[in-house]
Amino acid sequence: MANSLESARFLIESRMRDAAKGDAQARYDLGVAYSCGTSGVGIDLVEAHKWFNLAALAGSEEGQHCRAEIADEMSAREVAEAQRLARAWLSQTAHRAAA
């Protein structure tokens, strides 16, 4: 169990660093991790939609496709929350980059 948690933590931390630099593939990978439970990451459709949305914004066609696909499994409220979280992440990342 600890190994699975360490693996999930490493995946998330390494991909987050790249995602913050604008890496569309890293953002897509995070969406996949949260949508499928990759490497012990807990499945979270709101978080997955957020990352697919961010990947799409960075130019990922796969991100666009997966975002649309996963939205079909979510309520309107969940999609709105995912969009809010994506905007907040972009805002926080921009502030960190400017600092």
How much is the pTM? 0.88
Distance CA 46, CA 43 (A): 9
Query: What pLDDT is attached to residue 93?
Result: 86
- Give the number of C-alpha atoms closer than 13 A to the C-alpha of residue 99, restricted to the C-beta side: 6
Query: What pLDDT is attached to residue 2?
Result: 56
The pair of three-digit structure tokens given for residue 55, joined into one six-digit string: 């990947």
Per-residue model confidence as pLDDT tens digits over 25-83? 999 999 999 999 887 788 999 999 999 999 999 999 999 999 999 999 999 999 999 99
On the 0-12 / 13-18 / 19+ scale of CB atoms within 10 A, 29 is buried
Per-residue model confidence as pLDDT tens digits over 35-47? 998 877 889 999 9
Tell me the Ramachandran region of residue 40: left when phi exceeds 0, alpha when psi lies from -120 to 50, beta otherwise. left
Query: What pLDDT is attached to residue 66?
Result: 98
The closest of 75, 34, 31 to 51, measured between CA atoms, is 31
Contact yes or no for 45/73 (Cβ under 8 A)? yes
Phi and psi at 88, nearest 5°, equal -65, -40
